[in-house]
Amino acid sequence: MSGFWMGRCLVYTYKTKIMKLTNLFGKVLLVCVLLSCKTGFAQTASSGQATALQNGPNGKAVMAYYTAFEKKDWNLIQPVLADGFTFSSPLDDHISVAAFKERCWPNCYKMKKFEITEYVINGDNAFVITNGWTTDGKLFRNSDYFKFKDGKITSYECFFGPGINYPNSGK
């Protein structure tokens, strides 16, 4: 093979590799853009930004839920609970609103304050992490999962572990 053809083959090979790398870089960049756009659909908050939840009906329902516990006012929580509402926790499995009011609502008298530290709302689902304080100043932390329909809470799953000062955990 002459030097001319070898040179052209090397240039062709070199150009092909650059095109493949450029194509790969373009695909990686596209994936990064798509992922960043996807996260734009979810709303997140850090400490002190809970008021951003007020932008939609599902966020307003979440805020009403925590506010009702802080103010110890069942009349604030009742309107945001959908017909067929269920509550779940490590101690309860999909209990009705009547059982929730009987078993869980009395805990509001042991709770002083909630602070939403993180949240993600994706359509009719929300995941919320809160720090809470009992009336005797103990900190507890919950991870809460809400499901909604028409701006009302259809189900609420509360995740807490043993020994974290939750008002009903016996600690």
> Is the model's pLDDT at 109 over the cut of 80?
yes
| Long-range contacts from 25-28, C-beta under 8 angstroms, 24+ separation | none
| pTM > 0.75 | no
Q: Which residues pair with 81 in a beta bridge?
A: 153
Q: What's the pLDDT tens digit per position in 43-90?
A: 444 444 455 566 789 999 999 999 999 999 999 999 999 999 999 998
User: What average pLDDT does the segment 27-32 reach?
Assistant: 46
Confidence of residue 119 (pLDDT cuts 50, 70, 90): very high
Confidence of residue 38 (pLDDT cuts 50, 70, 90): very low
How many Å apart are CA 83 and CA 64, to the nearest integer? 17
DSSP 96-165: -HHHHHHHTGGGGGGEEEEEEEEEEEETTEEEEEEEEEETTS-EEEEEEEEEEETTEEEEEEEE--TTS-
Q: What is the pLDDT of residue 56?
A: 85
